[in-house]
Every structure is written in structure tokens, then in C-alpha cells.
Amino acid sequence: MIGFSRTKRSAASNAGYADLFGFIGFLFCLLTIVASTMATTAPAEPLAAVLKSVNDFTLDLYLKAAEAKGPGKNILVSPLSASLVTAMVHAGARGKTLEEITKGLRYPTDKDTLEKGFSSLHDLLANTPNVTLEIANKVFVEKTAHAKLVEGYKKTITEVHKSDVESADFLNNHDKERISINNWVSDKTHEKIKDLLQPGVVTPATAMVLVNAIYFYGKWKEQFDKKQTYPEDFYITKSQTVKVPMMHMTKNMRYAEIPELDAKAVELCYTNENVCLQIILPNAKDGLEGLQQKLRAGAFDLSNIPFYPTKVQLSLPKFKLEETINIKDLFKKMGMQSMFEQSADFSGMFDGVPVAVSDAIQKTFMDVNEEGTEAAAATAVVMMRCMMARPDPISVFNADHPYALRLVARVGAARACLFTGSVSEFSGDISKIASRTCSAQ
């Protein structure tokens, strides 16, 4: 969510199971789409440029989130959702505000390339077969400011970013409108993202709320046998373990060694084989922070993992994650300051209504189990009027300590990120889950 409020300028300027049990570690999810699998043909260069921007933004967003939460904490963010909603903010920005958002989100500087790329990306994502992938944008505008919405801006967000635009009575019924926005998000994410906007985020000063919602569900091409799920140790530190429900499978799958990260990886595909979950496992049981440091230093590009087919003996915990992230703080750390200040320039959005971003919030959800993966994300921006080596033939892949995940679908050679984060905790009553797992066998 991104929201805007009107700004009051000075005379000078105005002219896891819930928490997840225990400690899984680094979760890194990436969604890309293969153009050859889509019904829509997209202009290659603009699409590639936008996908590159999302990819470049992905790692920065994840690392900033990891720094903010500290070691040993779960993280799950959706770079794609954040990028899609902020693209609508970017379309109305000018001057320094525009420059900072362009740099922070890694957007192409050419307006035509950016718009064609995002338009193509929406079309391609809407045509992903054999999995459920639903993406929706919507902009809620205070009805007294709707007439001041710049016509060119409205055309861009409806035609390029496929967003509906709806009038809202924030001035007189701000909390009712907040609940209405939350209900829209819940509906678009199949009730996986609820209460995105907390009381107090939307006020009578709110001028506009921009929202993106993403929902994904995919079944594994080859599902795990539930009878092969049973409690095993997971290392939350080098010497401390907890019991988690561990899934098992021995099959031919795509595998990789990544010496640059001192890690290995495996790829599990869904019924659409162009959509896969990639798991990146540090070789050391306490190797998550070292892996993050190597990524921060640019030691390896996770979009180019050298997978090859081989037989793998895989052990993978089933888990559920839910996360709420203050995107505003992360954006500021990426150099995007102006959009949140009184001096913000969104003159391409409203004619004569000074606004700035007051809040940027994201909620995410992911459930990985024997059948497949379900994931959802919603990002809202509130704008307010300013008042203020090769392995052996059979490879053992035992994910019993922190590891990375990437949810991927290919778009030719280019990629776009859907989720990125860290699964770093397993908490809750493991014994109950274990007993339920055992009794189901």
C-alpha cells in the first residue's frame, strides 16, 4: 500500500506457521515468466529492461529488510508487488522525487521504455498457464481531489498499469474507506492478506491510496508423499535444533553447486514447468549470514544459477510464513527520501493539490507443503495532502538449516521477482504438529 496526503508548504516552498516454528533461514523467492509459454507477444527490449529493474531491485530490497530485522528473523517481501505499485507513484513524480524513485527502483530512465515494459509485463503475467497467478492494481482517490487528477496520469495508470480508479470519501468516512480497501485486498488475495491498512493509516487528510495485490497457487509437478513427512531436527544455530515436519523425496531434478556462495541449490517445478521453486542452501549450518554478505558484495547473481539434471535425495521442511513490512523505511534506506517529504513533487499526479507519501506498507503470505505452494502479497502506498564442483550421481540435499528459496517462472532470458525474504524461525508447538503428521501416516 502507498498512500498520499496533502502537504502544507511553507511560503517559500509553496509558491509459519504464524511466526513459523524455529529457524529455517534465508528465503529468496523470485518469479519470472517464459515468453514462449505466454499467449501474448511482448516487445523484447522494454520488457527485458523492466524485468532487469525488478531483478536489480530485488536483492537490495531483501538485504535492506534483512538488515532492518537483524539475524535469525523470518523475512518475506514481494519486490514485484512493491515495484508494480511504486511504478504508479513514479508516473506522477517530477524533479528530484522522480529521479530518486527511478534510481531506487532501478527503473529505465526512458519513459516510453518503462511504460511499454510494464504494460507487457502485466499482459504476460496474466497469461501464465497451469498455475494460478492473479495480479490487480487499484487506486482510490479522495472525491474532492478526483477532479484535480491529471488526465495524462489517469490514462497511464489505467492503460499501462491496468489499474481501476475509484473515488473515495476519505474526508468524511476515512475509516469506512480503509475497511473497504482492506476488503478489496482480501478478496484479490483469496483472503490470505487481511487488514493491510491498520487504523490511523488512512485519515481525513488522505488524498489517494494505491494498492497492488498478488495471489499465486501452484501444485508440484511431482508431489511429496505425505507418508514421507515426519519430524526431524532443524538447526536454528550451529548447535541448537528444533523438531520440524520434514518432507522427503528422491527424484531426478535440477541441481547446482554455487562455490561463490559456498552453497548448493535445487529447483522444484510446478505443473507449469516454467514456474519453479528454487532452494539455495548454505553448506554450513550457520552459513546464512555469510551467504547474505556474499550477495551484498555481488559475489553471485542468483538469476543465473547453473542448474543441471541429476538424482537428488531431498529433505525440505513444510512451512507457512506471514509477514508485514514497513516499505517506507526500506525505501528511505535506498535513497528515496523526497517522496516522503513536504517538498515532494507529484505535480504530474494532481493539478494544484500538493501531496506526499505518508505510508508504504506490505503484507505477504507463503505456504509450502506436500501438494505445492500458495503465496500472496499486497502493497499499499498512502498519499496525503501535506499538512505536515560437480556432485556425485545421487546428491543429498538435506535442508535442515537456513536456506534460500526462489519462486521462478521464465520470461525468455529475463526475470522478474515476486517474493524475496528470509525464513529464520520455527516457533510454536512443534509436538502437536509432529503428532498430527504422524497420525496422518
Are 119 and 214 contained in the same domain?
yes
- Strands of 283-342, DSSP E: 308-317, 319-326
Provide the mean pLDDT of the chain: 83
Q: Cα angle vertex 321, ends 334, 135, to 5°?
A: 65
- How far does CA 387 lie from the centroid of its chain? 31
Residue 296 lies in a domain: yes
Q: What residues pair up with 232 in beta bridges, in sequence order? A: 244
Are 172 and 309 contained in the same domain?
no
CB within 8 Å of 367: residues ≥ 6 apart: 319, 320, 321, 373, 374, 375
Are 238 and 115 contained in the same domain?
no
Residue 429 lies in a domain: no
CB contact at 8 A, 76 and 27: yes
Residue in the structure block whose three cell numbers are 498519499: 383
CATH number of residue 202's parent domain: 3.30.497.10
The Cα 124–Cα 36 span in angstroms is 10
What ranges in 147-256 are assigned the alpha helix state H?
Answer: 151-159, 170-188
Q: Which of 213, 205, 153, 211 is nearest to 174 (CA)?
A: 205
Residue 441 lies in a domain: no
Are 71 and 163 contained in the same domain?
yes
Residue in the structure block whose three cell numbers are 524475496: 420
Tell me which DSSP letter residue 198 carries.
P
Are 314 and 325 contained in the same domain?
no
The Cα 381–Cα 87 span in angstroms is 11
CA distance readout (Å), 265 to 231, 254, 409: 23, 8, 16
Give the side-chain half-sphere CA count within 13 A for 274: 21
Are 161 and 209 contained in the same domain?
yes
Neighbours of 440 (CB within 10 A): 9
Are 128 and 271 contained in the same domain?
no
Residue 232 lies in a domain: yes
Are 113 and 161 contained in the same domain?
yes
The Cα 87–Cα 85 span in angstroms is 5
What pLDDT, on the 0 to 100 scale, is given for residue 435?
33
What ranges in 282-400 are assigned the alpha helix state H?
Answer: 288-296, 327-333
In this predicted model, what pLDDT tens digit does every residue of 188-226 receive, in sequence order? 999 999 999 999 999 999 999 999 999 999 999 999 999
Residue 179 lies in a domain: yes
Are 233 and 203 contained in the same domain?
no
In this predicted model, what pLDDT tens digit does every residue of 102-156 receive, in sequence order? 999 999 999 999 999 999 999 988 888 999 999 999 999 999 888 899 999 999 9
Tell me which DSSP letter residue 190 carries.
T
Helices (H) and strands (E) in the chain, counts: 10, 16
Domain total of the chain: 2
Q: Which domain holds residue 308?
A: 226-318+369-376+391-423
What pLDDT, on the 0 to 100 scale, is given for residue 5?
59
Residue 271 lies in a domain: yes
What pLDDT, on the 0 to 100 scale, is given for residue 125?
86
Are 358 and 282 contained in the same domain?
no
Residue-wise over 300-337: b if at least 16 C-beta within 10 A, else e?
A: bebbebeeeebebebbbbbbbbbbebebbebbbbbebb
Are 309 and 326 contained in the same domain?
no
pLDDT one digit per residue (tens) for the chain, 441 residues: 666 555 544 333 333 332 333 233 334 444 433 333 333 344 579 999 998 898 889 889 988 988 888 887 878 888 899 999 999 999 999 999 999 999 999 999 999 999 999 999 999 888 889 999 999 999 999 998 888 999 999 999 999 999 999 999 999 999 999 999 999 999 999 999 999 999 999 999 999 999 999 999 999 999 999 999 999 999 888 888 889 999 999 999 999 999 999 999 999 999 998 888 888 899 999 898 899 899 999 999 888 889 999 999 999 999 888 989 999 999 999 999 999 998 999 999 999 889 999 999 999 999 999 999 999 999 999 999 875 433 445 667 677 677 666 676 665 555 555 666 656 666 544 333 333 333 333
Residue 104 lies in a domain: yes
Q: Which of 170, 424, 427 is nearest to 282 (CA)?
A: 424
Neighbours of 432 (CB within 10 A): 9
Instruction: Specify the 3-state DSSP secondary structure of 371.
Output: coil
CATH number of residue 299's parent domain: 2.30.39.10
Residue 17 lies in a domain: no
What pLDDT, on the 0 to 100 scale, is given for residue 161?
96
Locate 88 and state its grid cell. Answer: 504508479
Are 142 and 212 contained in the same domain?
yes
